[in-house]
Structures are given as structure tokens and as C-alpha cells.
Amino acid sequence: MNFSVLAGAMSKLEATSSRNAMVGIIAQLFSSLPPADVKLSVYLLQGRIAPSFKGIDVGLGERLVEEAVCKATGYSKKQVEKLYLKMGDLGTVAEELCAKKKQTSLFTQKLTIKKVYDTFYKIAVASGHGSQDLKISLLAELINNASPVEARYIARFPIGRLRLGIGDPTVLDALSFMRKGDKSDREYIEHAYNLLSDLGLIAFKYCKNPASLKDIGVQVFTPVRSALAERLPSAEEIIEKLGPCLVEAKYDGFRLQCHKKDGKVEIFSRRMERMTDMLPEIVNAIKNELKCEEAIFEGEALAYNENTGEFYPFQQTITRKRKHGVQKKAAEMPLKLFAFDILYLDGENLMGLPLRKRREALESLISKSNSGVMRISEGYIVKTACQIEQHFNDFISRGLEGLMAKDLNAPYIAGARKFAWIKLKRSYKGELSDTIDIAIVGYYAGKGSRAKFGFGGVLGAVYDSHDDMFRTIAKVGSGFSEEQMQSLRRILSKIKVKSPNPRVDSIIKPTYWVEPRYVITVKADEITKSPLHTCGKVGDEPGYALRFPRMVGEMREDKRPEDATTVDEIIDMYKSQKYVREN
């Protein structure tokens, strides 16, 4: 199918802020395409050419895209840069210049969806001597063959700024609407997606034969979407909800999903990014000590001091996420992996088994490790709130975050936040009992002493999972070091947009809007009602806001914006804080 069909749909998506309209546009697009093109279109709409766990990125910077635009249109680098400075968007620059090219090619051809996808794939995998020139030539060829509207999205794609405002839930709804005219198949499709985290492949299978999704199971080297935890403010409420349960130490590190098959090991983050090459000591321990043919298990990795036995906080552990100097950093700051669940073992899917059975299988597997790199998470079966409090206080005294309470009879629930897992975290006088993860949707120019940094704080939002939106909850201006202010301004300035992303619901206007791409953790004194924020806001009623929010730690590179705290969680925390005050 011609790429113009997809580009036309992209243009319609960009022009609307209605999520229902977006679902309709995508559903109509999918219904006009063969299944193979639906698969490629899903990737292109997501701004990628493969699911994140494949680790394949186009990776072209603005300068190289500018060179490709020059090469395709005949305009000078100075002219392109001047127009970019004026418009602030390389896509509209490419669109305008393609409409009035200074040069025309004797050989042009209609672009197909497959041609565009395949070319971006070639750009992504090109490496070695001369690869940069090849990437520019391939992109210039696409732009040369593109109509003005097609050029807009071709130029935006390599730098990750499509400006469509589409999340996975919108695509899942659109697939259901395509066949059923409503969301009735959404849960069915999402269940398959939670097991096989490749939305393009899921779309292909669903379009070709919806019944085929029933046959999808766990596959080694394809990450399963992580189970998520709920929150409760007290041990008493946990026991009331779960009864006898397993309580585990809550570690503040990397959550990892580890896969082994035929002597090969792959490790994925909670964002389903491939991290194998960054964690050599964990790879070696799994490869050499895990006595099984196939396995998928989860654990938390923390950096530690071998001399003192001290576990480092997350902001130090995160420094292990790097592409260069891996071996040196691994020697300086080795990791321990605390395994806490197992999903698959030697051909058997364990996800449907109760936790107590999965725990037995995990203990049998990990207990044979002798390097000290892998351990079972510290856990105890408890029957009373008093026992939970005892373990909680013990964990806190040792510098851990708190604990996780887990239903002994619950299966592993992929991709969902259920009360099968409940977290209980430390609290301080004058603070909420838990931190909150917010997605950055805008930032403020610095004033006064911060003017020199060009950064005065961020506008943060939480995630509304019901309609795939980000709703504001706080302006955060405290807790930043000078180094963090400089770093955030540098990072956020690269993703500035002139208007809020269609998935952002905000009454407040920051100095600069940004794409919701990065997550930070904040602490606050309490959650209050506010007419200025849209979190939980219904009609004329006020929404929810954070009182005295301040950033803690570093940017959470292990979390997607959709992993931010949800609106439902904020409402529950507000009710819980009120309950605690009154009791």
C-alpha cells in the first residue's frame, strides 16, 4: 500500500486532540491495509521499526536529517538551518522545501509503506566505515521521492518527534474497533500483547486471524509485560486484603527479566529494553550456574560495596546503565540479583500457578547458584499485621525501601496492576507514605539565581490508564542539584514542542512543552485538591495536586511515561491519607 495512505492518517491524527477520533482514524487506516502493512504501520506510528526489546533504533541526529533534506531538495545547509530555527520542526521544514524543490530527480517513484519501513531499517542497521554517508543518502532518497506531507513524517521519524500523541492503548482500541466497532476485543488483544510484547506482530496476527491470538504463549527471549503492584498505607489493610501472605524485602534497583535458552542469556528492563551487554556478571552467573535448559525469571539488581556489604541507592545503581566502559564499571560497582518470581521453566509456563508454587520452583533453581551474584529475594510468610510490621521495620533499618506483600494463591498477572502484589514503603514525618513517579510534560525557564541554568522546574503529570492520557499534578521546582538542572535543561530542550502532546491534559501552561518521554520520582507532604491540575478532575470539580513536591534521586530511565503513578493510585493515596488522619 502507498505510504501516502499512512501519511494522510498521520496528518489527521496530528490535527485532532480527541482520543476517540484518534481511535477511529487508526481503525479506518488498519481496515484499508493488508495485515503485513498493518504490522509495519503499527511500528511506524509508534516511532520505531521494531519492539524496544530488539534494541534496533534509527538513531539519526538533527544534523544528519538536515543534511538529508539539503541533499533531497537542493537547498543549502544555511537555508535549511534558518528555516528550522524559524519553524522549530524539521518535519514542516522538509514539507515546505519539498513543495518548492530547487532540483527535481529524473527518477522518482511512489513510496510504499514497505519501502519506507525497509529503508529506515537499513538506516538503523548500517554500521562501520561510510555508514553515516549511507544513512544520509538513504534518508535523502526517501525525502526526494516523497510528497510534501509524506516528507513531514519521514523527516520527523529518525529524531523521534512524530507529534501524533499515540500510546499502545490507543492502538489496542483501534484494532478492536476495526473488527468489532467497539472495544469489546480490547481485553482479548491486550492479553496476547502482555505475553508477546510486540504490538506490530500482535496486530498482524489479529488482522489475519483473530482466533490465532488464543495460541500465543510465553516465548523465551521475548519479554513478558511486568506484573505491577498496588499500594496500601498499613499492615492491617494488607492482612485484611490478602490474609496470610508472602512479604519480601523491597529493593531499590533495576527490575530485570532474565531469559535463558540453549546456553544463551538475554536480560530486559521493565521498559523491555535489552540490557544484556550492560550486565556481564549477571549474564555469566545465569549462563554458568542456572541448571536448566530454558527459563524466564524476574529479579531486582542492586549495586553493592564488596568491602562493607552495603547496598547502594538507585541513583548509584543506575550508573551501570551504559554502553561504554561496561567492564570497568562492573568491577567498580558489581551487582547482585535478587530473584523474586519465575514465569517459565524447561518448557512449562508457570504463570498460571499460585505464587507459593512458583516460589518453590524459583528456590529450587536459584539455591544452586554459588557465585553470590544471584540470590532469592528475602521473603517470609506472615499471618498477622504485627508480623508485617516487624519485617517492615527490619527492612527499613537496613536501608531498604520497605516491603512487597504478595498473595500466595495468585497467578502471575502480566501487564496489570492488581492487589495480588501490594507495596508498603517507608514514610517520614510530614511526608506522604510513598514516592510518586511523574512524567515530565513541560518545563520552566529559570529566574533569579536559576536564570544561568535556563531551568526553573518541571510540570509533571500522572498517567490515566482509562483513556491513555497524562494529567497534570504538580509544578516541581525543588530537589534539583545544579548538575541536574543543567542536565534536565539539555535533555528537555531536545524534545520541546510548540503545543502540548495530544495525550497531555493541562490547564497550566509551562514555558516550554515537551513530549512525555521522561519520568522523575518526587516526594510531597500531602495530596490536596486543586482547580489548577487535571489529575482526577471531573467537570467543575477540582483535581488533585501535590503539596511541596521535590525531586528525589535521578531521572528514572528504567521507566516509561506510562509507568508513571496512575490517577487511580493518586485518588487511593488521597483517600488513604485522609483515613490515616481521621484514625
Flag whether pLDDT at 581 surpasses 60. Answer: no
| pTM of the entire predicted model | 0.84
Flag whether pLDDT at 371 surpasses 70. Answer: no
Tell me the CATH architecture of domain 48-159. Answer: Orthogonal Bundle (1.10)
Which of 5-9, 109-113, 493-497, 541-545 has the lowest average pLDDT?
493-497
All three cell numbers of 224: 513478558
Q: Supply the CATH classification number for the domain 436-582.
A: 2.40.50.140
CA 418/CA 572 separation, integer angstroms: 13
Q: Quote the pLDDT of residue 306.
A: 62
All three cell numbers of 177: 474497533
Indicate the pLDDT class of residue 309, thresholds 50, 70 and 90.
low
Average pLDDT, the chain: 90
Element (H, E) at 577: helix 567-582
What is the location of CATH 3.30.470.30 in the chain?
228-425
CA 79/CA 384 separation, integer angstroms: 72
Pairing of strands 254-261, 264-269: antiparallel
Per-residue model confidence as pLDDT tens digits over 96-105 = 999 987 666 6
Paired residues of 382 in beta bridges: 245
| CA dist 268 → 341, 423, 486, 494 (Å) | 15, 22, 30, 26
Flag whether pLDDT at 333 surpasses 90. Answer: no
Indicate the pLDDT class of residue 367, thresholds 50, 70 and 90.
confident
**Residue bearing cell 478492536:** 176
Indicate the pLDDT class of residue 418, thresholds 50, 70 and 90.
confident
Q: Quote the pLDDT of residue 578.
A: 56
CA 475/CA 461 separation, integer angstroms: 9
Query: Does the annotation mark 250 as catalytic?
Result: yes
Indicate the pLDDT class of residue 59, thresholds 50, 70 and 90.
confident
294, 404, 282: which is closest to 343 by C-alpha?
A: 294
- Tell me the average pLDDT across 131-154: 95
Cβ atoms of 376 and 321 within 8 Å: the answer is: no
Element (H, E) at 117: helix 113-125
Q: Which is the catalytic residue, given 135, 250, 336, 425?
A: 250
All three cell numbers of 107: 527518477
Per-residue model confidence as pLDDT tens digits over 336-360 = 999 999 999 999 999 999 999 999 9
Comparison of pLDDT for 249 and 399, the residue scoring more: 249
Which of 124-133, 244-253, 363-372 has the lowest average pLDDT?
363-372
CA 191/CA 218 separation, integer angstroms: 12
Flag whether pLDDT at 535 surpasses 90. Answer: yes
Indicate the pLDDT class of residue 154, thresholds 50, 70 and 90.
very high
Indicate the pLDDT class of residue 576, thresholds 50, 70 and 90.
confident
Per-residue model confidence as pLDDT tens digits over 141-151 = 999 999 999 99
CA 534/CA 506 separation, integer angstroms: 6
Q: Quote the pLDDT of residue 53.
A: 92
What is the location of CATH 1.10.3260.10 in the chain?
48-159
Flag whether pLDDT at 308 surpasses 90. Answer: no
Per-residue model confidence as pLDDT tens digits over 28-39 = 999 999 999 999
Flag whether pLDDT at 430 surpasses 60. Answer: no
- Tell me the average pLDDT across 128-135: 92
All three cell numbers of 483: 548538575
Q: Does domain 228-425 have CATH number 3.40.50.1980?
A: no
Q: Quote the pLDDT of residue 283.
A: 95
- Tell me the average pLDDT across 171-198: 96
Flag whether pLDDT at 178 surpasses 90. Answer: yes
Per-residue model confidence as pLDDT tens digits over 454-510 = 898 999 999 998 889 999 999 999 898 888 999 999 999 988 888 898 899 999 999
Q: Quote the pLDDT of residue 105.
A: 60
Which of 76-90, 285-299, 363-377 has the lowest average pLDDT?
363-377
Flag whether pLDDT at 522 surpasses 50. Answer: yes
Q: Quote the pLDDT of residue 453.
A: 78
Flag whether pLDDT at 107 surpasses 80. Answer: no
* Residue 451: exposure state from Cβ atoms within 10 A (0-12, 13-18, ≥19): exposed
Q: Quote the pLDDT of residue 454.
A: 83
- Tell me the average pLDDT across 40-69: 92
Q: What DSSP assignment string belongs to 38-99? A: HHHHHHHHTT-SS-GGG-------HHHHHHHHHHHH---HHHHHHHHHHHS-HHHHHHHHHH
CA 395/CA 401 separation, integer angstroms: 7
